[in-house]
Chain A
């Protein structure tokens, strides 16, 4: 659950950002992010909230792990959490 997942901000309307996670778009809330967010920025998503704006120089390193995770099988726990965070599957199985 503490695995925040990085995504790219496409659009910002008030306190809601549309964020792209590997082709899946999600509405992410900006109430607790540490810095102002604009289209093109990357944020770390934790249960529907941006908890951090990722500084540009750190984007590549942050995204790399998740790229690998997303290619993992369905039963992989970390991959499952990433998928739930990006909304590919819903998190409904306990």
Chain B
């Protein structure tokens, strides 16, 4: 079912009038651009959920493309990173991780597969629960840590508050600002501006985007998660693009300041350092991965264990996995509708790619909210 009347009805609670005023303003702005197409990218799974859930794409002018970029941390966790977790589980090490990670396919199976094969994998809601598990036991507990900077902050804070000696972290944390640079520089990139996620910016502050804006001459608008926040953000972005204004605009001042949360930033960078690494399906991202600093090597699963990856890599990915277009989708070059497996062979029950596993993955979101997110393309 396409998101039709019911999702628009739901908008009433957020002031239908204002929504329509903003939408009308967007149409005007686009008209003034005289038929030029405008493409903007957001980098947040929660933005995509809100856009899909409230049927916002149906309100957008025809020439405005709102693309979801690499805003799903689970989806950009690279195959070898999943493999490290799977290998550790197969070696008999107890793993704790966030629920979304469980079914993400690695080169040879997922953590869920490792669990079916006897591996001990616990799903936790917070790293604090993984620490509790370690405290109550004498065996090694590895927390397989995924997520962007907002989540990495909680991993860092945990390591700074004296976790037990049998606790360690396998970090697959990622840092968003560098990937925006890479996406903006991709040959053929149509992205003319970015919508940045309010809560990540709550931590980093909007100032973190200033160097990006200076280098790429593209506007960045920080927006919240309500329908009105997102529409206002898009209005701001289209305005900035039309006027050729490359700057950072903070349209979520009720949560985001220029400096952000200094306490959290300090905690983050005390424990982590950025290093280059692959983001699944996208590219090598310089400074895009967060690894533990040497001072915390004793909590680093990578220095604590011999992780036997070679044993895993005997088997090649199946052909279905090779047909997955997740990478192109995350880079904003394709949409789920371009994938022939979408909602056919690939469903949340039987995901082929990570984008169908995570509740923040574009394929999963489009599948749950009806597959056709744009009423203009709905049957």
> Which parts of A35-94 form the interface with B (CB within 8 Å)?
44, 46-49, 51-52, 54-55, 58, 61-62, 64-65, 68, 75-78, 80-81, 84-85, 87, 90-94
Contact A47-B125, Cβ < 8 Å, known A2-B45, A34-B262, A58-B254: yes
A interface bracket (residues with beta carbon within 8 Å of B): 35 or more
- A4 lies within 8 A of chain B by Cβ: yes
Q: With A32-B153, A46-B150, A47-B125 given, is the CB distance from A2 to B199 under 8 Å?
A: yes
Of the candidates A3, A47, A58, A87, which one forms a contact with B154 in the assembled complex, judged by CB atoms under 8 Å apart? Answer: A47
B76 within 8 A of partner (CB): no
State whether A52 and B261 are in contact (beta carbons under 8 Å apart), knowing that A3-B225, A46-B154, A94-B103 are contacts in the complex.
Answer: yes
Bound complex: CA A46 to CA B81 (Å) = 23
Number of B residues whose C-beta is below 8 Å from A? 55
Is the CB–CB distance between B53 and A52 below 8 Å?
no
CA distance A87 to B157 in the complex (A): 21
B226 touches A65 (CB 8 A): yes
The reply to whether A51 and B150 form a contact with Cβ atoms under 8 Å apart is yes
Expressed in whole angstroms, the Cα–Cα distance for A10 and B375 within the complex equals 45
Q: For chain A residues 1-34, which have a beta carbon within 8 Å of chain B? A: 1-4, 15, 27, 29, 31-34
B238 an interface residue at 8 Å Cβ cutoff? Answer: no
Considering the chains assembled together, what is the distance between the CA atoms of A67 and B267 in angstroms? 32
A91, B124: Cα distance in complex, Å: 7
Which of B288-296, B321-329, B333-341, B357-365 lies at the interface?
Answer: B357-365
A49 B368 Cβ-Cβ under 8 A: no
Cross-interface CB contact of A49 among B157, B202, B357, cutoff 8 Å: B157
Instruction: Enumerate chain A residues within 8 angstroms of B151, measured Cβ to Cβ.
Output: 1, 46-47
Contact across chains for B157 and A32 when beta carbons are under 8 A apart: yes
Determine whether B93 belongs to the interface, using a CB cutoff of 8 Å to chain A.
no
Q: Which residues of A come within 8 Å of B, CB atoms?
A: 1-4, 15, 27, 29, 31-34, 44, 46-49, 51-52, 54-55, 58, 61-62, 64-65, 68, 75-78, 80-81, 84-85, 87, 90-94
